A = this chain, B = another copy of it.
Amino acid sequence: MMRTVKTVKEMAKIRGDLCKMNIIGLVPTMGALHEGHLSLIRKAKKDCNIVIASIFVNPLQFGPKEDFKKYPRDLEKDSEFLKLAGCDILFSPQSGDILGKDLGTSVHVEGLQSVMCGASRPGHFDGVCTIVLKLFNIVRPGNAYFGLKDYQQFVIIKKMTDDLDMPVNIIGCPIIRDRNGLALSSRNAYLSKDDYTKAVRINKALREGSRLAGLKKLKAGEITALLKKEYLKGMKTDYLGFYDADMLSLFDEKKKPSGKLVLAGAFFVGNTRLIDNIIIRI
């Protein structure tokens, strides 16, 4: 039986009462769950005795012109999904309960935010980190699971957790895609039929980029230019580049690469901002 907990106080109490021997897995989400989220629940289920999913549409991680208000919310449907996936506790606090009257503390991770989504969404990752840290303190999980679609988020949360000596293992899980290769995202719900036809080209572009990088004939900048021209017409590229997979620095042919790159991008298809990435071992 899945238990639903709606207040920070009750969640903290339940956590306090849990036996120390339990391995607790946390899957933090913003709801509007899809197979990507459920894959995290299933992975947590394998690793842990108790799986806790949180659903909280975090206002701090949305910019003033972003889609906080229209972000899809369907707690009832999400709750059913989680039950079926074997989640033990759903933690779905109200906004005011998490934010309090005057949340004045924020967490900042320096050095990993000047590129990719960080560059176009100022303050986004501070908002993510602050709320994730609060969730970690309330739930005190041993493991926390994040999808690698938000690759930069994964790297930043891992860095925050290491830097702050939090006793939590951050576990990144593979991107789940639909049958046309589109990375699953709650924001896919915004796509018109026409948008969708465009959106499926994103992953095709990244795979072609990965292939071209493997051939080592073109420079990184030449590859991304080619992808934009050949695959990504009809959408606005927010960013697209090859980055060091650990440091997130833009790949530089002149420097020795550290072993793993990520080819990552964000694209506006109509008004919908979609992200995707592919890891490249070099």
A interface, CB within 8 angstroms of B: 8, 12, 16, 20, 100, 102-112, 129-130, 133-134, 137-138, 140, 159-160, 162-167
Contacts and interface: CB of A to CB of B under 8 A. Distances in A.
B105 A106 contact: no
A243 to B, nearest CB: 16
A165 B105 CA distance: 11
A105 B108 contact: yes
A106 B163 CA distance: 9
Contacts of A103: 163
A104 B156 CA distance: 10
B107 A12 contact: no
Contact of A105 (B8, B20, B107, B137): B107
Contacts of A107: 105-108
Given A20-B20, A105-B159, A159-B104, A167 B110 contact: no
Contacts of A20: 20
